[in-house]
Structures are given as structure tokens and as C-alpha cells.
Amino acid sequence: MSSIRVEGLVKIYGKVHALDGLDLTVKPGTVFGFLGPNGAGKTTTIRILAGLARPTNGRAWVAGFDLAADGRHLARHIGYLPEEPAFYSWMTPQEFLDFLGRLYGIPSRDRAARVKELLELVKLAEVKMRRIGGFSRGMKQRLALASALVSRPEVLLLDEPASALDPAGRKEVLDLIEGLRSQCTVLMSTHILADVERVCDVIGIIARGRLIVQSRREALLAQYAAPVFEVEAADAAGLQRWADDLRQHAWVTAVSVDHPTARVVVKDIGLAKHELLAAAVRANLALDRYAEIKPSLEDVFLRLVGEEGLR
């Protein structure tokens, strides 16, 4: 059984196809990284899954509910954190979470315990009586995450949960998300590759309203990441001549130069290991560094999104 299932989802705004036949499956207990460039359709998808927008066509199921038939029952089973969460700034965190608990119909005794638990989880217990209006961006984002967890949701939908935070604030939020793995299914939309690499089990890459790949991170890298070598040389002119020569070989996919570093993407890693250094010797190029680079999610992302843009 899937926590989230999407089939042929289409959303059209005027002449814009925000979603163009999106298919997606998220298994229970997964932290799913929903990755794509700005404008790819991530926010539109999450708003539909949260019941805040209706698709033009297609179907979706969240936490076992068919959004078309049972959408009105969905609210108690999901948590939703929008990209720009809003608060009553005059409230305290304790008051705000208690207010949300009342909306969910949580009994008084259970509500007090849940509020206390959440404040401790997001490390706001010491400031529970301060007004939210005086909070930093990171504190507000942690409170927003606590707000999305009030009802103990089966599915948590997060739209760019850490994109506007400084490094310290992003680390705090990502640590919290990582700790939720055993509690609920998480779908996290973002365009920050490092965040996905850090906390996500499975990655789905969306472009132009379509899912172009979905896989576990290790399998994604193994299947799509091309071998990459980096070399450094002080001789800028010599490095450029060497790079220009490499581009003529069939086993080389691409070469980029940002002195003193040249980055070489190859098709045949065995041949490259023999030929790269030999080519440097022929060019009389003195290398300061030569290294085979471990493929990154960024390499995969740029390759797949770039290929999709050419279609």
C-alpha cells in the first residue's frame, strides 16, 4: 500500500500546464525528496495533495483517501507546511499550538501533553511564553513544523521547508525532518540538492510538470551519474589547449575549464584512466592535481533536467 499515489495528474492555469500527466508513488515511512527547478510543478502538486487545489485531470490518493471522493476527511490525516507559513504574531507558541489542537478536536488533557511534546521536539519549550512576532525566521519555521504535526499525521507535506533559512536554521529543521522517519511518511519539496542528499531515502525529480525519474539515492547515482575527473594545472593556456584536444575524443562527454581546474565527464571510465594522463604528457602539461570525483546528486539533477528541457 502507498501513502501517496498520483496517476496522470494535470493542472492547467490558463495556457500554463503546471502539471502535465504526473505519476508518483510514495511508500509508507519514506522521507521522499521531491526535487525540481523553480516552476517545475512542486508546489502545485503539494497543494493538490493537501486538498487546497483541485486537479484539472487525473487522480490522487493520500493516506488511503481518494482526494476526489473522500477529500473532506483528509485534514486529520495529513500535516502541511507551506513555503511561507503564517501565524498570529500576538500569540505565544503554546497558545498557537493549543489553538490548533482545539481545531482538530483534541481533548484538553491530551492537547496539553501534545503541545508540551511538540515544543520540546522543536526546541521551543524555553520560549513557549514569548510572542511569535519576535521570533527569528528559523524559530518560526520550527514552530511551523510543530504546527503541521499537531494531529499526529500519517503523511507530512513540506513545501521548501528550509530554503529561506541560514545554515544553522536549515540544519535544525533538517535534523527535525530526519527524526520523523519512524513517525510518518514525509514528502519534502525542494530545489536544494544538499538537503535532499542529507535526509531523503527516495528521490523524485520533476521537470515541466512531469516526473522524469524516481529512485533511491544510491540507485539514482549508479544509473545516471557519469564518471567525472578533475585536474588542476597552473598553466592556463596549456590547460585550455589540453581541454580543447580532449573534446575531440569519442570517450569524452564534456569538458569545462575554470582555471586552474578542468572538469572532464567521460563515457568510458577505464579508457579515461589510461588516456587522460597520457594526453597531459603529450600536451607537456604539468598537473598539480588529478582525481576521480565521486558522482553527486547535482550531476544527476543537471543532466536529467537538462535533457528534459531539450524535449
For 184-213, letters b (16+ CB in 10 Å) and e give bbbbbbbbbbebbbbbbebbbbbbbbbbbb
Is 124 exposed, middle or buried, given 0-12, 13-18 or 19+ CB atoms closer than 10 A?
Answer: buried
Percent of the chain with pLDDT strictly greater than 70: 97
pLDDT number for residue 5: 96
Say what the pLDDT of residue 160 is: 92
Other C-beta atoms within 10 Å of 268: how many? Answer: 15
pLDDT: which is higher, 138 or 223: 138
Question: Stretch 68-87: mean pLDDT, rounded?
Answer: 89
Q: Are strands 57-62 and 65-66 parallel, antiparallel or unpaired?
A: antiparallel
Q: In this predicted model, what pLDDT tens digit does every residue of 272-289 receive, in sequence order? A: 888 898 888 888 999 999
Q: Is the predicted pLDDT of residue 67 greater than 60, yes or no?
A: yes
CATH topology (fold) of 226-294? Alpha-Beta Plaits (3.30.70)
* Same fold across 4-223 and 226-294: no
Specify which residues 5 forms β-bridges with: 25, 61
What mean pLDDT is reported for the chain?
Answer: 90
Q: Where are the beta strands (DSSP E) in the chain?
A: 4-13, 16-26, 31-35, 57-62, 65-66, 78-81, 155-159, 185-190, 202-207, 210-216, 228-232, 252-258, 261-266, 289-293
Half-sphere exposure of 274 (CA within 13 A, CB side): 4
In the chain, where are the structural domains located?
4-223, 226-294
Q: Which whole number is the average pLDDT over 100-116?
A: 95
| pLDDT, tens digit (0-9, with 9 covering 90-100), for 181-207 | 888 999 999 888 888 888 999 999 999
CATH number of 4-223: 3.40.50.300
pLDDT band at 71 (very low <50, low <70, confident <90, very high): confident
- Locate 247 and state its grid cell: 573534446
Q: Confidence band (pLDDT; 50, 70, 90) for 261?
A: very high
How much is the pTM? Answer: 0.80
301 touches 265 (CB < 8 A): no
Contact by Cβ (8 Å): 275, 283: no
Q: What type of residue is 202?
A: V
Query: Any idea what DSSP says for residue 31?
Result: E
Q: Does the structure show a pLDDT above 50 at 310? A: no
Whether the pLDDT of residue 92 is over 60: the answer is yes
How big is the chain by its Cα radius of gyration, in Å?
Answer: 24
Place 307 in a pLDDT band, splitting at 50, 70 and 90.
low
Q: Which of 92-101, 108-117, 157-166, 288-297 is predicted least confidently?
A: 288-297
Residue 52 DSSP code:
S
Which of 11-15, 233-237, 298-302 shows the lowest per-residue confidence on average (mean pLDDT)? Answer: 298-302
Cell of 267: 563515457
Distance CA 247, CA 264 (A): 9
